[in-house]
Amino acid sequence: MLNISPNTIRQQKKIVEFKSFSQTGIVRGRVQFTRWMIALLIIFLVFLFLPWTQNIQSNGKITTLRPEQRPQTIHSTIAGRVEKWYVQEGEKVKKGDTIVYLSEIKVDYFDPELINRTTQQVDAKEGSIDSYNQKIKALDDQMAAMRAELSFKQEQLGNKIKQIHYKIASDSAELKQLEIDFQIATRQLERTQTLVDKGIKAVTDLEDKRQKFQKINAKKIAIVNKLGQNQNELANAELELSTVAYNYNQKIAKAQSDKFSTISTRLDVEANVNKLKIQRSSYEQRSKFYYIIAPQDAFITKALTSGIGETVKEGAPVVSIMPANYTLAVELEINPMDLPLVAVGREVRFLFDGWPALVFSGWPGLSYGTFKGKVFAIDNTINDKGKYRILIAPDEEEKPWPEALRPGSGAKGIALLKNVPLWYELWRQLNGFPPDYYKGEIEKLPKLKAPVKNLK
């Protein structure tokens, strides 16, 4: 039965006469096995030449296309104490709605009339600036008057000096005439004395000549004294002319010094006024920060500082929100070796967590439950994990992504590359080679026109 002996019953009996031998023989089984193997080999060879789409797979998460549409935390601009909440978690708020009210905790801002009192200080300082301006104007008028007075005084002294010069000239001419008269009188007196001594003239003639001589001599002495007096007066006038400019210039310099001091004081006051105005503006702006408002339409996700009377520090997180209007996108991380294979506009297929899918990575047309997207942006720098981040936006021409998707959910991305034969892909995988690098026709993405999710 086991057919382990070289002797066989087939030599002695005709097996075809027995039905059991025909049913238990192994010849027929060998033929069928061979046929099945050949068929499977043909099918395998056919499969080897089927097209296969190379791809890059990576796990990521759902995010938003624009930074301002992502979940964010609202911080307190100032330090304060929580006085009242106007919202609750899960509530939708519009842009500008009040979320929480804070009260002041710093001693420097306790005064409820702080802004009004600062305004009064500003008004008082501005009034002093007007006074300084008026003082500067008065000093300018004073200097102008002193300059005009100096000019008038110099002109007056100049005229006086001219008059003295005229007097001196007149006296000098008169002195010369008297000197001639004096010489004549002297000679006449001497001749008359000689004639009197000889007895030719009377004594009375001599006395007349002597009297005339004395008068001329007296006039000469008087005119000499007058000439000296005028010369002294001229010297005094010239000295006064030289000193009057010095005296008035000193007065003008003192007035200029007072003016510059006033200007310096006015500038200091203006600096103080500007400082007070800055403080007043800061107080006004600070008063607006008592109310924390919603920066955009959003949902309150979590209150990070709860309770009434709780103190928050400056810059401390108060509440986290999720924008109500956003454009979904997927954030994936790829290895540096695969970075040259990805370009903006490249097609990517997604499997979202919670949505069933049947996936054939090499045959995307046969896959079910996947969603299509296109590469929107690629980071230029590597992250701490040693990978590059890419951002994928929805494809408007394909079916929209599920409405129930939320940022933060998981997603698996399959970036589709070049179509190659299946045998080539197996050979590449066995040898550990990267997918083929090629430049296909890539569509240009529109500028942020992906569908917008509006949560109601």
Residue pLDDT, tens place only, 3-20: 555 555 555 555 555 555
Rg (CA), the chain: 60
Q: What is the pLDDT of residue 455?
A: 46
What values do phi and psi take at 350, rounded to 5?
A: -125, 145
Residues 84, 306: Cα–Cα separation, whole Å: 10
CA 89 to chain centre: 36
Angle between helix 27-48 and 422-431 (nearest 10) = 80
3-state secondary structure 140-153: HHHHHHHHHHHHHH
Residues 351, 2: Cα–Cα separation, whole Å: 57
Residues 219, 364: Cα–Cα separation, whole Å: 144
Tallying the residues shown for the chain, one arrives at 456
The pLDDT tens digits for 77-102 are: 999 999 999 999 989 999 999 999 99
Q: What is the pLDDT of residue 343?
A: 81
The first and second tokens of residue 54, run together, are 């190379």
User: What residues in the chain have per-residue pLDDT under 50?
Assistant: 1, 438, 440-452, 455-456
The full set of domain ranges for the chain reads 1-48, 51-66+327-454, 114-288
Q: What is the pLDDT of residue 241?
A: 80
Contact 15, 21 (CB under 8 A): yes
Q: What is the pLDDT of residue 107?
A: 85
Q: What is the pLDDT of residue 92?
A: 92
Coil vs helix vs strand at 17? helix
Please tell me the number of Cα atoms within 13 Å of 146 on its side-chain side.
19
Helix (H) or strand (E) holding 438, with range, is: none
Q: 3.40.190.10, 2.40.30.170, 3.90.120.10, 3.40.630.10: which CATH number matches 51-66+327-454?
A: 2.40.30.170
pTM: 0.58
Q: Please measure the distance between the N-terminal and C-terminal CA atoms of the chain and give it in whole angstroms.
A: 81
Fold classification of 114-288 (topology level): Helix Hairpins (1.10.287)
Coil vs helix vs strand at 105? coil
